[in-house]
């Protein structure tokens, strides 16, 4: 799961969206979410090993990151398919997602593989949206826009490509590596654009929802 997963079909006016299932937190989706959190320091250590100059360690970092992204997809599908969405998952899942991608952004900037301005811009947006999303959980679960979902996919793809030592490849792989690097740069550019626009959409919708709750609270009720 991620903070950009769909909140499901729109509910009738006045009906409160459930925050999470009041069941046991001991299930496979939550276990995968916890595993993803535990992988964050492992991924960071592997990525930063030898300052990111060792090609084999960069490939290992890519494998850890790819595994984390796969578990993100699996735990979301399992939770929705088997009705295992819990309060723990609602809170821990977006934290796990932002932690692993945040580590990727910061780590890549530290080793000089990604521009710092991209990392700062993306992290400000991601964590501000995540904190706001968690703050309104007691009222409702806010579904994400299509641009938000596409942004998440583009970020994961671009980060994965940047983690690979594409520009360090030699011989017959030098040209394909350079081409893939430029593909990664283009995908990252699209991801940054969607990061900004989807962030604007989220804050706009959150403000509208807050105004709607305030208006409903002030509306007088009548007894039949």
Instruction: Indicate the DSSP class of residue 144.
Output: P
Q: Are 200 and 125 in contact (CB under 8 A)?
A: no
Reading the block at residue 79, the tokens are: 């939770």
Nearest alpha-carbon partner for 101 in 28, 160, 55: 160
Angle at 41 between CA 35 and CA 46, to 5 degrees: 110
CA separation for the pair 11, 102 (Å, rounded): 33
Q: Which CATH number fits domain 28-218: 1.20.1560.10, 3.40.190.290, 1.20.120.1760, 3.40.190.10?
A: 1.20.120.1760
- Has residue 87 got a pLDDT over 60? yes
**pTM beyond cutoff 0.75:** yes
Per-residue pLDDT tens for 131-181? 877 676 555 555 556 777 788 899 999 999 999 999 888 888 899 999 999
Least trusted range by pLDDT, from 2-11, 67-76, 116-125: 2-11
Does residue 183 have a pLDDT over 90?
yes
Categorize the per-residue pLDDT at 14 as very low, low, confident or very high, splitting at 50, 70 and 90. very low
Work out the end-to-end distance of the chain between its first and last CA atoms, rounded to an integer number of angstroms: 43
pLDDT tier for residue 212 given thresholds of 50, 70 and 90: low
Q: What are phi and psi of 25, to 5 degrees?
A: -80, -5
* Residue ranges of domains in the chain: 28-218
């Amino acid at each position: 799961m991620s903070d950009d997963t769909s909140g499901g079909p729109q509910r009738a006016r006045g009906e409160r969206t459930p925050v999470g299932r009041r069941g046991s937190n001991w299930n496979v989706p939550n276990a995968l979410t916890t595993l993803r959190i535990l992988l964050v320091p492992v991924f960071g250590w592997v990525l930063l090993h030898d300052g990111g100059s060792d090609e084999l360690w960069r490939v290992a970092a890519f494998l850890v990151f790819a595994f984390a992204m796969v578990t993100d997809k699996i735990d979301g599908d399992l939770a929705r398919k088997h009705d295992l969405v819990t309060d723990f998952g609602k809170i821990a899942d977006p934290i796990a997602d932002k932690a692993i991608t945040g580590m990727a952004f910061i780590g890549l900037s530290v080793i000089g593989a990604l521009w710092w301005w991209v990392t700062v811009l993306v992290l400000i947006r991601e964590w501000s949206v995540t904190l706001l999303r968690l703050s309104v959980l007691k009222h409702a679960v806010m579904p994400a826009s299509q641009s938000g979902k596409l942004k998440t996919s583009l970020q994961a793809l671009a980060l994965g490509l940047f983690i690979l030592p594409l520009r360090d490849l030699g011989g017959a792989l030098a040209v394909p590596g350079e081409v893939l690097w430029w593909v990664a740069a283009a995908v990252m550019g699209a991801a940054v654009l969607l990061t900004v626009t989807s962030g604007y959409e989220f804050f706009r919708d959150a403000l509208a929802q807050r105004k709607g709750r305030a208006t409903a609270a002030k509306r007088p009720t009548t007894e039949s």
